Amino acid sequence: MNDVGRRLRALRKEHGISLSALAERAGIGKATLSRLETGARNPTLETLYAVTGALGVPLAAVLAERPPGDVVVRGAAVEATLLEVFHDPDATYELYRIRLRAGARQVSPAHPAGVTEHLTVFRGEVVAGPVDAPRYATAGGYLRWTSDTPHTYAAGGDEDAEASLLIRSPR
């Protein structure tokens, strides 16, 4: 993940933000951010979302230098494989294949205003959406929510679940 660290550092500098200021905005330690930028530490999905959210960029902005399908990030409950990044004049779209581990729950920090998430369940049961109002879907079901507040992901049953996740970030 050294390329992720290099991209994080470049984005931080492009935005004119110090290491300390970005760490504070993202709610992580300065040493943690420094180790991420140097490649000495592999980031979790939650940490990447916290940092990219604080920068106001989509997660794919730090993953973009790697070929789609080759990028796998893991969090407390979610393993996400970036499949594709699409751009149009109004938004960036990130398409992920995700696996949710049974018995685990993950909370993602708020994304910038206007970001929406669209989850289609392929196998199992999923509980996802805003922390204060998560929704439930089974295989073939679809969930959509505005993700500018903390949101959660969990397998809804005793087995892992599989889904696609499309994240739309306005430009």
Q: Which residues contact 29 (CB under 8 A, 6 or more apart)?
A: 23
Domains in the chain: ranges and CATH: 2-63 (1.10.260.40), 71-170 (2.60.120.10)
85: Cα within 13 Å, side-chain hemisphere: 16
Residues in the chain: 171
Return the residue matching tokens 């070929």: 67
Q: Quickly state the pLDDT bin for 58 (edges 50, 70, 90).
A: confident
Task: Check residue 106 and give its pLDDT.
Answer: 93
Q: How many angstroms separate the most distant Cα atoms in the chain? A: 46
Closest among 127, 118, 104, 171 to 146, alpha carbons compared: 118
Q: Does residue 130 register a pLDDT over 80?
A: yes
**Predicted TM-score (pTM) of this structure:** 0.81
Phi/psi of residue 120, nearest 5 degrees: -115, 125
Question: What are 102-129's pLDDT values in tens digits?
Answer: 999 999 888 889 999 999 999 999 999 9
Closest among 69, 93, 65 to 81, alpha carbons compared: 69
Return the structure tokens found at 95.
């398409």
Q: Is 52 left (phi over 0), alpha (psi -120 to 50) or beta?
A: alpha
Neighbours of 27 (CB within 10 A): 12
Task: Check residue 66 and give its pLDDT.
Answer: 62
Task: Check residue 131 and give its pLDDT.
Answer: 97
Question: What are 6-55's pLDDT values in tens digits?
Answer: 888 988 998 899 989 999 988 888 998 898 888 887 778 888 888 888 88
